[in-house]
Amino acid sequence: MKAVLAFMFYWYCTCNFAQTQNTDSLRRILNNGQIIDTVRINTLLLLSEDLAYKDLDNSLSLAMEAIERSEALNWNEGLARSYRQAGIIEYYKPNYDKALNHLHLALTYSERSKNALLKASIYNNIANIYADLKEFDKALVYYDRLLKVAREANSEKDELIALFNIATIYTELGDYDRSLQNFFSSLDLAEKASITQHLPAIYNNIARTYQYMHEDEQALQYLDQGIAVAEESDNRYILSTLLRNKGELLRDANQFEQAELSLIRSIELSQENGSVEWESLAWETLSSVYEQQNKAELALDAFRKHIRLRDSIINEEKKAELIKKDLIFEKEKDQALYKAEIERQKTIRNASILGGGSLLFMAGMAMFFYRRRLHAISEKEKAEFKAKVADTELKALRAQMNPHFIFNTLNSINSFFIKNNREAASDYLKKFAGLIRKILENSEKKLIPLKEDLELLNTYFEIESRRLPDKFDHIFIIDESIDTENTLVPPLILQPFIENSIWHGIANKKDKGVIAIEVRKRKDTLLYVVDDNGVGRKPEKRKEMNRSMGMQIATNRIAIINATESNGGVKVIDKEEGLRVEIELPLTLAF
């Protein structure tokens, strides 16, 4: 009997710093009735992902609420991500027809949102369903689409997933040498890029391939590695598969007691996850373990449970219906794209005929006057700009080392010591010292990786939340197409704006507030957003905020950066409740 197949989903994360938000924190954010709509949708998806391995029904309910709210906003990317999450959960149940319907809708909305990596992840999930249905040729088509997009976008994570799933197909086709070659390439890539969440699935499928080759000792070695990683990360879904496969190997080695323990645990995890397919397979293997021990009654009972669950999963009629739906969807999509292209070409042709001549004339005149003016003032601007750079860089460090922030923090630490709460004081002091050390280290750097900057901001949030307990929650929302380790940003450019949100927006609010930090791509620029639902600015206070030293220095830094590389800047938007600050910077990559 063959071991359980494990394909890999593209694990989307609404924010790369989701690990800083536990389930209780996310629920508190959702319970805040005044939370802004896009933050609520992202929080719903974060919580749905957090529950996907633990409570499938609640996870699906959260995804469906995200769909409803995205529809109300007419937000294509939100709809694509929400339908994808719903498809993933239905796959886990497994309800393949519902999963495929959700994923096709996700694919449609992803095309409208122009998010290539989002579309690639949906290709992968659709391919997984066809692989489960043994439609390997169709699965390879979708995996090849994923691999193409991954390489074009230089996305190591997506390339890893594509290699892994293609290797899994080769295992199913019996091409074990080619399969292991791709699996070890994906393992090397996962370790190199620290993509640890995929390690359990890679270990599982390497073990599975060795098992097919009758090299059980090596298979058991990789299963144990996978189990250790899955337990550490609490990935119960893949853990149930690993334990089931280990039970099968132990049974073949006549280690029946250990096999029974492993399989019973696999069944328990499958029941917790609502994973009917994995539970069915575990009962089947356990039945054979009992049979070899001459425990006929237990063997029969286990086999009956396996048959009952197996028959509830999928039949040939459902399979035919899925394939039919897929063909209809592909045809309708091609027709829609064809019509859209005809309209686009017509619009371009008409615009070119009517406006081409006048545009050329105006452009020529504008260029002539622009060059004359530029030549006259360029030398003066260069001198002024250099002086401004030097002055602003010196002030930037002082702004980050805000004396009020340092004084208040030290007072808070001293208060803990006075109350004899040494453990809290020590923890607080470590965080504060770590933040100050990093600020000093980065004072000589113009750019640092986005991942490091977000970690610094998270530490700053933690320190401020200790001084203002139960006053606010914070959430990071990172565009999934952004590689946080390869993207470079000015260190702590957001800190003064966050400080303003905390002390002028949230601290004066009667109830608990929320501060959302968003990072998105906008063509060749990086968009930073600080969005709070605090008390906002009264009209008479708006000029006072603009004169804030920290914010003025940060604004000057941004102006200097954009003066040499892009046309970005700072935009402060007053909302009915709260404030939204948008900061646009040039998109800078390490390599």
Q: Give pLDDT tens digits for 79-134.
A: 999 999 999 899 887 788 889 899 989 999 998 887 888 888 899 889 888 888 78
Which residues make up the CATH 3.30.565.10 domain(s) of the chain?
397-589
Cis peptide upstream of residue 94 (ω within 30 degrees of 0): yes
CA distance 157 to 269: 27
Q: What pLDDT sits at residue 504?
A: 84
**Amino acid identity at 332:** E
pLDDT band at 330 (very low <50, low <70, confident <90, very high): low
CA distance 76 to 70: 7
Closest CA to 145 of 171, 114, 182, 117: 117
CA distance 35 to 15: 17
Please determine, for residue 333, whether its predicted confidence score (pLDDT) is greater than 60.
no
Tally the residues of the chain: 591
CA distance 494 to 267: 48
**In contact, 207 and 245? CB cutoff 8 Å:** yes
CA distance 537 to 541: 6
pLDDT band at 216 (very low <50, low <70, confident <90, very high): very high
In this structure, the strands spanning 570-574 and 448-449 are unpaired
486 burial (CB, 10 Å; 0-12 / 13-18 / 19+) is middle
**In contact, 180 and 209? CB cutoff 8 Å:** yes
CA distance 504 to 423: 30
CA distance 276 to 313: 7
Which residues make up the CATH 1.25.40.10 domain(s) of the chain?
155-234, 237-313
Per-residue model confidence as pLDDT tens digits over 250-296: 999 999 999 999 999 999 998 988 888 888 889 989 988 998 898 87
Write down the CATH number for the domain with range 397-589. 3.30.565.10
CA distance 161 to 50: 21
Q: Which CATH number fits domain 155-234: 1.25.40.10, 3.40.190.10, 1.10.3720.10, 1.10.569.10?
A: 1.25.40.10
**Between residues 437 and 23, which one has the greater pLDDT?**
437
**In contact, 525 and 568? CB cutoff 8 Å:** yes
What is the token pair recorded at 433? 């010292």
Please determine, for residue 327, whether its predicted confidence score (pLDDT) is greater than 70.
no
488 C-beta neighbours (distance < 10 Å), count: 21
Please determine, for residue 22, whether its predicted confidence score (pLDDT) is greater than 80.
no
Query: Architecture of 237-313 per CATH?
Result: Alpha Horseshoe (1.25)
Please determine, for residue 349, whether its predicted confidence score (pLDDT) is greater than 70.
no
pTM: 0.47
Closest CA to 286 of 313, 252, 259: 259
